[in-house]
């Protein structure tokens, strides 16, 4: 007696994820973040209503993978460009996709003032603690004693200052509505990050301020580690300094 096998589809490529050759380094978190964004866009049915903005850095290549209207921005200026787009097209879902060197260094001013004004956009912030594209230099988010090409003996806080916890700064501003920090280095964390991105898009309907989703990621190439080692290093070091979870969340009854 034969037993008929019934297969259930549990995986498929999102329609808004462009079928192209992956160019990111092995183990990089950008690819997972792109996947989550496209899953949310597909599930919400907003592909034709979404506009992304990406600046300089590894994040600039988001347009190469996410099939929505995109605008490039000068280094650090993505939130300013996203502000202009949202004000002209308030019915659209607008998001910026930025790295730590971009958002928390040259773009600090734009980021702070965008959030303080409460612009009704979603900012997705990839924090890997280093400049990924330009050679592995120390970023504002580089941890104390963490080595980089411009801090080869480790970040000395006495001469180089402390890592910038910009997400906590953002959460203190009255213009922000939802601020959270997640990661994509483990399956459970991936699910939580996706939920956070979904909320960031959905809350735009409420027009109550800026949503800010930080994703703590790894950079195996510039950390000089294998992908597995970099994930382990994240657990041991990065997440102690950048703890995961919601920092500012709206009242569910209000949302």
Task: Give the integer Cα–Cα distance in Å for 24 and 184.
Answer: 15
Task: Give the integer Cα–Cα distance in Å for 243 and 17.
Answer: 29
- Residues with pLDDT less than 50, the chain: 255
Structure tokens at 136: 């592995």
* Domain positions in the chain: 30-248
- Tens digit of pLDDT for each residue in 41-100? 999 999 999 999 999 988 889 999 999 999 999 999 999 999 999 999 999 999 999 999
Determine the pLDDT at residue 2.
55
Which architecture does CATH list for 30-248?
Answer: 3-Layer(aba) Sandwich (3.40)
- Nearest alpha carbon to residue 218 among 180, 186, 179: 186
Structure tokens at 131: 């400049």
pTM over 0.85: yes
């Amino acid at each position: 007696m034969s037993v008929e096998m019934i297969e259930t589809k549990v995986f498929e490529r999102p329609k808004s994820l462009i079928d192209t050759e992956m160019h990111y380094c092995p183990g990089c978190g950008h690819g997972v973040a792109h996947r989550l964004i496209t899953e949310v866009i597909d599930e919400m049915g907003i592909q034709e209503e979404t506009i992304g903005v990406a600046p300089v850095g590894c994040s600039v290549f988001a347009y190469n993978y996410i099939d929505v209207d995109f605008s490039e921005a000068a280094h650090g200026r993505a939130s300013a460009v996203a502000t202009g787009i949202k004000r002209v097209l308030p019915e659209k879902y607008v998001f910026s996709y930025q790295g730590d060197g971009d958002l928390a260094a040259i773009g600090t001013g734009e980021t702070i003032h965008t959030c303080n004004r409460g612009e009704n956009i979603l900012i997705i912030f990839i924090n890997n603690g280093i400049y990924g594209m330009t050679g592995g230099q120390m970023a504002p988010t580089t941890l104390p004693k963490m080595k980089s090409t411009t801090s080869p003996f480790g970040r000395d806080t006495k001469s180089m200052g402390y890592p910038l916890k910009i997400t906590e700064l953002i959460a203190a501003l009255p213009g922000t509505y939802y601020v959270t920090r997640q990661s994509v280095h483990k399956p459970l964390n991936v699910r939580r990050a996706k939920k956070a991105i979904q909320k960031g898009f959905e809350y735009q309907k409420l027009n109550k301020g800026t949503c800010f989703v930080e994703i703590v990621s790894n950079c195996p190439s510039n950390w000089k580690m294998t992908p597995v080692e970099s994930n382990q290093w994240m657990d041991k070091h990065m997440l102690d300094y950048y703890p995961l979870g919601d920092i500012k969340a709206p009242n569910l009854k209000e949302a």
